[in-house]
Amino acid sequence: MARALSWLVAVVTALVAWPAAALGPLQPFTPPVAAARGADAAAAAPQAATHIGLAGVRLGTSPRALIDGEWVALGQPAREGRLVAVRAHEVVLRLPNGRDEHLPLFPDAPAAAANGSAESTVVMRVLQ
């Protein structure tokens, strides 16, 4: 009886797992639109996913900013300037002419929420 039950469990498990195996190893990571349109859309998907502007910040001992699809550390060049400050809601780029360009993480957020609250300035390092 136990042997028949073990065999039945093995068969049911194989039948349930078969459709997932047929999809291939990369199928769960393919965006639904790209999978529906085929290989041409899958090749174009990484280009369409690139975000222009500030897309994220990493705070802590080594703060970084995701600017134009690339992680940039403090002091490294980004766009026309260098990254000089990383805050919770924005980053600051120092341009060659000495001006600072502020890139907000949430461009549509009210200015008071992005700049004025004490918790928004978690990490700020300025390089001389």
CA separation for the pair 81, 97 (Å, rounded): 9
Inter-residue contact 126 to 75 (CB < 8 Å): no
pLDDT in tens, 37-51: 555 544 554 544 556
CA separation for the pair 75, 94 (Å, rounded): 9
pLDDT in tens, 50-83: 568 899 999 989 999 999 989 999 999 999 999 9
Residue 69 tokens read as 């699809």
Q: Report whether pLDDT(126) > 70.
A: no
Nearest to 91 by CA among 19, 70, 24, 26: 70
Residue 112 tokens read as 């008071």
Inter-residue contact 92 to 78 (CB < 8 Å): no
54-120: CATH class: mainly beta
Residue 86 tokens read as 């990383």
Q: Which residue has the tokens 């890139």?
A: 103
> Hey, which residues does 81 pair with through a beta bridge?
78
Residue spans per domain, the chain: 2-49, 54-120
